[in-house]
Structure 1
Amino acid sequence: MQWFSQDKYEIRLEWGLSAVEHLAREVDCAVIVDVMSFSTCVSLAVDNGARIYPYPWKDESARKIGAKTASPDRRFSDKGYSLSPVSIQRISEGESLVLPSPNGSAISFRARDAAITVFSGCFRNLSATAEACSGFRRVLVVPCGERWPDGSIRPSVEDYAAAGGIIAAMGRGSCSPEAQSAIAAWHFYQTQNLLPLHECSSALELQQRGFNEDIALCLEVDTAKLACQLYGDFYASVKRRHDGW
């Protein structure tokens, strides 16, 4: 056991791509939390019956699977899609969309390569994600964070709080100190209806760029009833069994 493994506990939490690289092979499933905006976009698309391919494939690869490619520019003004959750709201059932994301997509696929079950979680599908994890003993929750201009990780409070909310909804006693701290953050913001998160750094960035509607969508709690699971190359709704998840 490595000092960083949190091996003593069923529910574990650590940040970003390095968390997956160092801890994923010691758990049964991982929850990737990238609230603003990858995980929110995935939830919105899956709610509408669409599939999300979470990485920047080349155009010819997208065409092979009949998928559109979302623009990485939020200001994409055409009728297509972008990493803006508002644009994903109108996606149709049965559509397939390649969604470029430097954090959520890369971390999702790295977790998949560890041969574990991978979910995408956010505030919108908080309870559904927790329920989907109920059949797994060892769970790693990964708040993705954002990036500084030099490429280093910037821990983001919205990802941390959402991760804590998912863990709290699991209702498990065996949580690492890192997971317990995230639960405390969730309880703090929950008592204030997440209002302070409208002024967090990630939200202020979106405000300055004119994407207030995206912030509102990202901070909705439990408005989605579907959990999002990575099946090979795409996210879709968790398949239910007759006896539950």
Structure 2
Amino acid sequence: MTAQPEWARQRGFGVRFEWGLAGALALGSECAAIVVIDVLSFTTAVSVAVEAGTRVFPYAFRDETAADFARAHDARLAVGRTAVSAEQPWSLSPASLRRAPAPQRLVLPSPNGSAISAAVAGVPVVAASLRNATAVGRWIVKQGWGTAERPVGVVAAGEHWPKRDTLRPAIEDLLGAGAVIEAVASHGWAPLSPEARCARATYLSEPDVPALITDSASGRELTALGFTDDVTIAAEIDSSTVVPVLIDGLFTDAT
């Protein structure tokens, strides 16, 4: 892997912020932990699944290799939102996960948050969303992370433009990242990088985060596809206390 340039690492700051897989790899090489934010919908779905007692495998691809991976790991496989059936009731939709019986292990493919989570190596990976931002921030502080000596990298997954392998920054992930950064910074001892300060300021300046997410491009996309409930669940701010941490390849509640 190509070494990351010095300017990309945001050195000297306890909480750092970046976008996408490249950003996660830039920060992950020297952070104590990476927090992945994919509000619509991977990390929100992880929070819902982990609340129900399910442990979640992140997987980057929704293809035949995902089915092979699930079989090899004695896990159920989440399918596409529109492919849910009685035999496979699990998908990336948080609403479908709430309705479905909770398996012990679930493979949850996603090209954004899941792909980033699976790619980061060597440090703990935490799945955060608006639903559990405060719980994640509190847990990070409890570990002694978020200092200049033991920094945390907060990564907004973003989306991809249709039919293009290019990042589309998504405001719901910016807001989710800002919520986590605020939860850490509220303890008063975390020096924030300029990027992290901007994400935090965006979150703190918005008086109605659920309404903003509902009317965002990603929110409108899911609503047009008939998944309004997923948007509603994603905007359940601080409704969850689970802290899903990637342990032996599985997101498991660390609290």
Q: When the two structures are superposed, what TM-score results if normalisation uses the length of structure 2?
A: 0.88
Residue among 79, 82, 89 paired with 2:91: 82
2:47 is aligned to 43
Deviations 1:59-95 (A, max 9, x none): 2331232211110x21124131111111111354552
Whether 1:31 and 2:39 are equivalent positions in the alignment is no
Residue among 145, 166, 191 paired with 2:158: 145
Aligned length: 235
Q: How does 1:1-245 map to 2 (within 5 A)?
A: 2-55=6-59, 56=61, 57-71=65-79, 73-79=80-86, 80-92=89-101, 95-111=104-120, 113=121, 115-134=122-141, 135=143, 136=145, 137-149=150-162, 150-170=164-184, 171=186, 172-189=189-206, 191-238=207-254, 240=255
Alpha-carbon deviation of 1:200?
0.4
2:214 touches 2:220 (CA, 8 Å); kept in 1? yes
Consecutive unaligned residues in structure 2, runs of 5 or more: none
Separation of aligned partners in 1, 2:196 and 2:96: 33
Separation of aligned partners in 2, 1:3 and 1:148: 27
1:46 touches 1:52 (CA, 8 Å); kept in 2? yes
What is the aligned-residue RMSD (CA, Å)?
1.5
Identity %: 34
2:21 touches 2:116 (CA, 8 Å); kept in 1? yes
1:123 touches 1:218 (CA, 8 Å); kept in 2? yes
Separation of aligned partners in 2, 1:82 and 1:95: 15
Alpha-carbon deviation of 1:232?
2.0
Separation of aligned partners in 2, 1:77 and 1:138: 40
Separation of aligned partners in 2, 1:17 and 1:58: 20
One-letter amino acid of the counterpart of residue 236, structure 2: E
Alpha-carbon deviation of 1:105?
1.4
Separation of aligned partners in 2, 1:86 and 1:98: 17
Sort the Cα spacing of 1:93 and 1:78 in 2 relative to 1 into closer, same or farther, 3 A: closer
Alpha-carbon deviation of 1:202?
0.3
Alpha-carbon deviation of 1:106?
1.4
Consecutive unaligned residues in structure 1, runs of 5 or more: 241-245
- Secondary structure at the aligned position of 2:29 is classed as helix
Separation of aligned partners in 1, 2:71 and 2:118: 20
Separation of aligned partners in 1, 2:100 and 2:29: 34
1:243 is aligned to none
Separation of aligned partners in 1, 2:85 and 2:103: 21
- Secondary structure at the aligned position of 1:102 is classed as coil
Separation of aligned partners in 2, 1:93 and 1:81: 9
